[in-house]
């Protein structure tokens, strides 16, 4: 199960943090590390030294040009956020993530889930654009007077909670969270982890990050053509629509319906 979790570091500036992240992951049984446009050489001597025994995780890490590429096949993208943003986003605690992870990774139907946990730069964290590509944000409830966890320390806490969620699911399948609403119902029920509320399993697999980004691109184009969206004066329009659809956890059929709607509207709007 833990092998379907990917840790993604964006714009990391210190090689030591790259090595320490690999070590933190390995201690909790996580394997898959991805770097997006690091601002250092994540494989240099210092990185290898701090990995101390987890060089295999570090050196098998994959490199990506963008967050979208790094998480394109993921069904849940969680961004680690230290700050409150102007546009509130669905927010969970590491504990809550821990509880939901087993059902997220179990996926729907025959499609197992893939989860990415995304960490930003040491100095500035994740950009708003990056945060708005996440389904949810996870916030470590730190000391308000001094909340700056070292990057690798934050990774350690999240990986620890991932492992806890897995261990607790192993020992008590009834505690596996299904979705927000089913979480309580699931408690204590032996079969609950195999079912959605009322025993109905979801009918279609979740859309991938890729599907969603293509939909958002299509949506923005259609709204611009229709005149509703003004790129010169965007306000928060696309951000709010992203928040809505990312929150809803669209399945593949829903994405097809929405894109079909747009294509139909496109036929009627000016194609300059």
244 CB neighbour count, 10 Å cutoff: 9
Angstrom CA distances, 74 to 77, 107, 140, 202, stand at 7, 11, 22, 18
| Distance in angstroms (rounded) separating the CA atoms of residues 124 and 39 | 13
User: Cβ closer to a second copy: 143 or 233?
Assistant: 143
Of 201 and 233, nearer to a second copy (C-beta) is 201
Least distance between a second copy and beta carbon 174 (Å): 11
Q: Could you tell me if 20 and 51 are in contact, meaning their C-beta atoms sit under 8 angstroms apart?
A: yes
Smallest distance from a second copy to CB 66, Å = 27
- DSSP structural state of residue 4: G
When the beta carbons of 70 and 94 are compared against a second copy, the nearer one is 94
Query: Between residues 37 and 269, which has the closer beta carbon with respect to a second copy?
Result: 269
Number of H helices, E strands in the chain: 11, 7
Choice between 37 and 224, CB closer to a second copy:
224
Task: Report the nearest approach of a second copy to the CB of residue 67 (Å).
Answer: 22
Shortest distance (Å) from residue 213 CB to a second copy: 18
Residue 71 CB, nearest approach to a second copy (Å): 20
Which has the closest alpha carbon to 1: 170, 118, 160, 209? Answer: 170
Q: What are phi and psi of 91, to 5 degrees?
A: -120, 130
Residues paired with 251 in a beta bridge? 206
């Amino acid at each position: 199960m833990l092998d379907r979790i990917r840790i993604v570091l964006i714009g990391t500036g210190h090689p030591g943090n790259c090595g320490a992240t690999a070590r933190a992951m390995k201690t909790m049984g996580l394997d898959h590390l991805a770097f997006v446009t690091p601002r250092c050489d994540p494989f240099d001597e210092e990185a290898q030294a701090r990995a101390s025994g987890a060089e295999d995780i570090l050196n098998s890490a994959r490199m990506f040009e963008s967050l979208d590429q790094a998480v394109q096949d993921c069904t849940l993208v969680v961004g680690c956020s230290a700050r409150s943003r102007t546009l509130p986003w669905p927010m969970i605690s590491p504990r809550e993530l821990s509880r939901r992870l087993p059902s997220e990774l179990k996926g729907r139907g025959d499609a197992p889930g893939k989860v990415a946990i995304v960490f930003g730069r040491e100095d500035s964290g994740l950009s708003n654009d990056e945060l708005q590509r996440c389904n949810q944000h996870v916030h470590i409830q730190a000391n308000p007077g001094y909340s700056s966890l070292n990057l690798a320390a934050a990774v350690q806490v999240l990986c620890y909670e991932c492992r806890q969620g897995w261990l607790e699911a192993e020992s008590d399948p009834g505690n596996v969270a299904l979705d927000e609403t089913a979480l309580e119902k699931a408690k204590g029920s032996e079969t609950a982890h195999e079912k959605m509320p009322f025993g109905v399993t979801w009918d279609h697999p979740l859309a991938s990050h890729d599907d969603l980004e293509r939909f958002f691109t299509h949506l923005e184009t259609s709204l611009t053509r229709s005149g509703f969206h003004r790129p010169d004066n965007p306000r928060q329009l696309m951000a709010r629509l992203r928040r809505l659809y990312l929150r809803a956890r669209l399945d593949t059929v829903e994405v097809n319906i929405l894109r079909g709607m747009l294509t139909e509207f496109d036929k009627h709007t000016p194609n300059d």
